[in-house]
């Protein structure tokens, strides 16, 4: 079987101790997520509830697009297991190893309850972004289509400091990492070819509340198992400068980069400034703004204008694979 580098049809880059293709296939929409609407989500769940439709698209990505690295996840076990099975079957069909970037939720707890996606966490995010971005952040946030999608199409009931108390310093002092649960998460990937471990965006909460000790602690834990460890960041303009100032020992960052600024906080300009000033390699996600900004221009922005090292993007159909990889490969000078 060819290694993922031997089978790779696109330029590569080094992140930490790992050589990685500059184009990486994301897990959406195989976990149901469309970033469009509930109807599309339902269609995705139905389409990708069997291994073969996923394997068909993956095989096209490998054979025609030269994409030999993919994101994997554990947060929706039923669909994520199907995804892993589809990857394995694609490897057998193409005789090519597919390297994996594993998204790993970090179970931050308070009083024994996981708080990473709690309303108080979201209120904390809003509070810190507002403090930096002010009115520009508020306008940007309430115009963001992915935020609207995440909230079910309405901003009613959104968690802000006016409605839900952010985590205070005394709360953050009692945050803990549940390593028993983290071990369960890691067990999901047993036997997989994990190129890069990608701790989840809980780093935003820990950085914003000053718990850099917990960040260093779980990074040390992950480095005992993985050669290269990066981190997802969902609020680049706030979080990246904090991580850089603290010299947090990750090998790179994975964060949203796209020309419209969709899902980039506090604003696109503040996020881009932090990304361009980062001392570590950056993998861009959502380069097509959740399917709202397509073609060559999407990849020209992330690679040529912002200068990221790699980009991760979702493709749900063979036609999308062909169209998107052609555009991305063309920008990287790897067009067939």
* Domain edges within the chain: 12-331
Question: Residue 304: is it exposed, middle or buried by C-beta count within 10 angstroms (0-12/13-18/19+)?
Answer: exposed
CA distances from 62 to 72, 249, 322 (A): 16, 32, 11
The token pair at 21 is: 């293709």
pLDDT for 46: 79
The token pair at 34 is: 């469309």
pLDDT for 197: 98
Rounded Cα–Cα distance for residues 164 and 125 (Å): 12
For the chain, give me the number of helices (H) and strands (E)?
13, 13
H runs (alpha helix) in the chain: 38-47, 51-63, 77-94, 119-143, 145-150, 169-172, 179-187, 202-208, 212-223, 236-245, 268-276, 296-299, 318-331
pLDDT for 244: 98
DSSP 109-151: EETTEE-TTSHHHHHHHHHHHHHHHHHHHHHHHHH-HHHHHHT
Fold of 12-331: TIM Barrel (3.20.20)
pTM of the predicted protein model: 0.95
Q: Which residue ranges in the chain fall short of pLDDT 70?
A: 32-35, 37, 291-293, 335-336
pLDDT single digits (tens) 213-242 = 999 999 999 999 999 999 999 999 999 999
- Per-chain mean pLDDT for the chain: 93
CA neighbor of 239 nearest in space, from 282, 196, 302, 182: 282
CA distances from 82 to 72, 228, 300 (A): 11, 25, 33
C-alpha 129, offset from chain centre = 19
Cβ pair 106, 10 in contact under 8 A: no
Cβ pair 110, 171 in contact under 8 A: yes
C-alpha 288, offset from chain centre = 13
């Amino acid at each position: 079987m060819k290694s993922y580098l031997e089978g790779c049809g696109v330029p590569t880059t080094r992140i930490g101790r790992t050589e990685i293709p500059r184009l990486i296939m994301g897990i959406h929409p195989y976990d149901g997520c469309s970033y469009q609407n509930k109807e599309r989500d339902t269609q995705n769940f139905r389409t990708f509830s069997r291994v073969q439709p996923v394997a068909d698209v993956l095989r096209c990505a490998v054979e025609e697009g030269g994409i030999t690295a993919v994101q994997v996840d554990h947060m929706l076990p039923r669909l994520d297991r199907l995804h892993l099975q589809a990857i394995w079957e694609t490897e057998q069909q193409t005789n090519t190893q597919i390297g994996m970037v594993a998204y790993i939720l970090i179970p931050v707890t308070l009083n024994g309850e996981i708080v990473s996606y709690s309303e108080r966490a979201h209120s904390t995010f809003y509070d810190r972004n507002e403090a930096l971005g002010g009115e520009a952040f508020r306008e940007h946030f309430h115009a963001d289509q992915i935020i609207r999608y995440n909230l079910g199409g309405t901003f009613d009931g959104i968690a802000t400091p006016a409605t839900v108390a952010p985590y205070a310093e005394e709360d953050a002092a009692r945050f803990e990492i549940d390593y028993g649960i983290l071990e369960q998460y890691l067990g999901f990937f047993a036997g997989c070819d994990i190129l890069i471990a990608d701790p989840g965006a809980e780093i935003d909460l820990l950085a914003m509340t000053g718990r850099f000790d917990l960040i260093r602690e779980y990074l040390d834990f992950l480095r005992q198992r993985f050669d290269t460890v990066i981190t997802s960041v969902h609020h680049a303009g706030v979080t990246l400068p904090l991580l850089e100032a603290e010299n947090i020992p990750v090998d790179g960052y994975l964060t949203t980069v796209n020309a419209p600024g969709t899902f980039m906080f506090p604003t696109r300009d503040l996020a881009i400034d932090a990304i361009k000033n980062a001392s570590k390699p950056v993998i861009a996600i959502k380069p097509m703004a959740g399917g709202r900004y397509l073609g060559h221009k999407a990849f020209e922005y992330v690679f040529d204008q912002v200068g990221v090292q790699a980009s991760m993007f979702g493709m749900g159909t063979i036609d999308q694979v062909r169209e998107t990889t052609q555009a991305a490969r063309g920008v990287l000078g790897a067009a067939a």
